[in-house]
Amino acid sequence: MGKLTGCLEIERRLMSFRSPEERLRNWEEFHLPTDEEVLRAQAVHCMDCGTPFCHTGTMLKGMVSGCPLHNLIPEWNDLVSRGLWQQAFERLLKTNSFPEFTGRVCPAPCEGSCVRGVNDLPVAIKEIEYAIVERGFSEGWLQPCQPRVRTGKRVAVVGSGPAGLACAEQLNRAGHMVTVFERADRAGGLLMYGIPNMKLDKAVVQRRIELMSKSGIVFVTSTEVGRDYPAERLLREFDAVVLCSGATRPRDLAVGGRHLRGIYFAVEYLTEATRSLLRTGCADPGSESPLSARGKDVVIIGGGDTGTDCVATALRQGCRSVVQFEILERPPNARQPDNPWPEWPRVYRLDYGHEEAVARFGADPRQYATTAKRFEGDATGHVKAVHTVRVVWIRDQESQGRPTPRELPGSEQVWPAQLVLLAMGFLGPEEHLLDQLGIARDARLNVRTLSGSYQTNVPGVFAAGDMRRGQSLVVWAIREGRAAAYECDRYLMGEANLPWVV
C-alpha cells in the first residue's frame, strides 16, 4: 500500500463530471479527466487488505459482489499511488480486455465490496481504472497485438458486443484467425448502439475496433448470420464458432392500447438516437421522426440503466416532460440489516440522467411502486396518456413468502404521453440462428451449455455473454467472452494457450 495511514488521512473524491446543466447542452461524454496528484492520493486509500473482496466476483443473493473479472485491484492501486502508471496499465490488462468500457459504464461492484466501505466510503476504484487505461492510450502503450505464430485455425464469432469482442481479442492472441460477424452497420453491439454517447463516446468504441482490426481480426458488418450468411456455411467454413449475439428479445407489456402508435422498445429509441448522432452529429432525429422526444411528454416504463439512458436522451432532445415508472419500491438511503457488506448495496442512487432531470425539471423523474395498466389513444390512433396504479409489495402464503405486488385501490393516475418507451429488460436470445444450428436452450430459453462449460450441445460451437447467462453487465460479458475463448482454444489445440478464467 502506498501509505499506511492514507485511508484515514485522505477523503474519497468521486469521479469528476461536468455539471448537469452543462452536459445537457450537448451529446459529449460527461466524464472529466482528474489531476494525476489527486488520482495518486485516491489510490492511497487502498489498504492492500490481507483478504481483499474487491476482486472476488462472488454471487450473493443474486447480485455480484466484487469484480467478475478478478481485476488485480490492490496491485494497480499501489502502482498508481507510486506513479508507476505503465506497470499499473500492464496489471490491469492481465484480466480486463477493455477497461476503457468498464471504466465508463460498469456500476463498479468492486467498490460495493471494498473493505474500506464497511464503515466509510470505498476506494475510487472505477475512476482509477478509467485513468489508467486512458493514460495507456495517450502514451501509446497499447499497440496492435499481432501474434508471432498463426495456428491455421479459423474461428467465427457471431456478435460484436463486449462478449464477442473479448472472445475475439483473446482468440487472436492465441494465434487463430478470427472473423467477427455483426448484423448492424458498425461493430460494437450494445456498446455502439445500446449505450448513449454521453455515457460511452462512440469514438472510444471505434478506437478499440480499429486496434483489433490492425491486430488481424476481421469484422464483417451488415451481415446477419442465419439470414444473410447461412448457418450451415458457418459450420463448413470455420473450425469453431462462438455465439455472442446477446439477449436481444425485449420484454413487452401486454396491456390495453399496446397497439397504439408512439410506443417503442427502449433499444429502438436509443439505437435511432445513436444512428442519428453518427449520421448528422446530433442524436435527435428531428421533430418529424416518431422516435424523437422533442416537445413531447415522455413516459419510460422500467427503472434500470436502460431507462436512465432514455431519460438522459429525451432531455437532450428537448422533451416537454419525462417520467420513469419503477414497479419496485424506493430503495433506502443506506444499507439495511438484510443487506450487509460485502453484498452489493441496494440503496437509493441518483444516476446521471436523474441528476439531469432534477436540473431541468426540479425533481427525480422516477415514480416508484407504480405500474402501467393501459395506454390511451387519440382519434388518430396515437398514444396520448398512460394509466397507472400504485402497488404495495406483500409476502404472504399465496406467494410462498416471495414479495409480490398488489394494486393499491384508489391510487390510479393518468399521465400525458406522446412517446412511451418500454425499458423492462430482455427475455433472451433471438431464436432463428439457434434453431438453424440445433442449439439446445435452458428453461429461461438462453443457450444451454455443458455443466461448468461454454460448449453447446453442438460440437465446436460455444456460447458466451447474455445469450448464455441472460441479461447482465458489460463486465460479465467480457468475462464470459474471455472464458469461452479459453475453452474454444483448448478445443482447437488440445490445450489452451490463454489465461484460465475462473
Kind plus residue range of the DSSP H or E element containing 453:
none
Q: Read off φ and ψ for residue 168, nearest 5 degrees.
A: -60, -45
Going from the C-alpha of 34 to that of each of 15, 37, 42, 134, 185, the distances in angstroms are: 8, 9, 11, 11, 34
What's the pLDDT score for residue 342? 94
* Residue 499, domain member (yes or no): no
Q: Are residues 163 and 99 in the same domain?
A: no
Is 440 part of any domain? Answer: yes
Q: How far apart are CA 281 and CA 351, in angstroms?
A: 25
CA 309, 310, 312, 316 torsion-angle sign: positive
Residues 77-89 as b/e (b if ≥16 CB within 10 A, e otherwise) read bbbbbeeebeebb
The residue count of the chain comes to 502
422, 445, 471 — which closes off a domain? 422
CB 224 within 8 A of CB 125: no
Number of domains in the chain: 3
Residues 227 and 290 reside in one and the same domain: no
Give the pLDDT of the chain (502 residues) as one tens digit per residue.
556 666 667 777 777 899 999 999 999 999 988 889 999 988 988 877 878 899 999 999 889 999 999 999 999 999 999 999 999 999 999 999 999 999 999 999 999 999 988 888 899 999 999 999 999 999 999 999 889 999 999 999 999 999 999 999 999 999 999 999 999 999 999 999 999 999 999 999 999 999 999 999 999 999 999 999 999 999 999 999 999 999 999 999 999 999 999 999 999 999 999 999 999 999 999 988 999 999 999 999 999 999 999 999 999 999 999 999 999 999 999 999 999 999 999 999 999 999 999 999 999 999 999 999 999 999 999 999 999 999 999 987 776 778 899 999 999 999 999 999 999 999 999 999 999 999 999 999 999 999 889 999 999 999 999 999 999 999 999 999 999 999 999 999 999 989 877 6
Which DSSP letter does residue 322 get?
A: E
The CA-based angle 36-41-46, given to 5 degrees, is: 125
Q: Is residue 149 in a domain?
A: no
Asked whether the beta carbons of 299 and 323 are under 8 A apart, the reply is: yes
Predicted local confidence at residue 451, as pLDDT: 87
**Which of 160, 168, 76, 172 is closest to 125 using CA atoms?**
76
Query: Does 403 share its domain with 434?
Result: no
**CA–CA–CA angle 364, 368, 372 (5° rounding):** 115
Cis peptide before 162 (omega within 30 of 0): no
Domain boundary among 369, 389, 422: 422
Query: In angstroms, rounded to a whole number, what is the distance separating the alpha carbons of residues 272 and 269?
Result: 5
Closest to 20 in 3D by CA, of 366, 281, 362, 304: 362
Predicted confidence at residue 2, as pLDDT, reads 59
Burial class of residue 379, CB neighbours in 10 A (0-12, 13-18, 19+) = exposed
Query: Cα–Cα distance between 97 and 168 in angstroms, integer?
Result: 10
Using DSSP's 3-state secondary structure scheme, residue 385 falls into strand
- Residue 65 forms part of a structural domain: yes
Compute the distance between CA of residue 414 and CA of residue 119 in angstroms, rounded to an integer: 43
Do 418 and 292 share a structural domain?
A: yes
Residue 254 falls within a domain, yes or no? no
Q: Are residues 189 and 336 in the same domain?
A: no
Same domain membership, residue 352 and residue 267 = yes
**Pairwise CA distance, residues 158 & 231, whole Å:** 11
Is 230 inside any structural domain? yes
Largest CA distance in the chain: 71
Per the domain annotation, does 500 fall within a domain? no
Residues 348 and 464 reside in one and the same domain = no
Q: Check whether residue 132 and residue 163 sit in a common domain.
A: no
CATH number of the domain at 19, please: 1.10.1060.10
Pair 275, 410 in one domain: yes
Q: 482 and 359, same structural domain?
A: no
**Which of 76, 109, 139 is the last residue before a domain boundary?**
139
Tell me whether residue 187 is in a domain.
yes
401 in the same domain as 292 = yes
- Residue 468's CATH number: 3.50.50.60
> Is there a single domain that holds both residue 329 and residue 418?
yes
Full residue range of the structural domain in which residue 99 is found:
6-139
Q: What is the pLDDT of residue 116?
A: 87
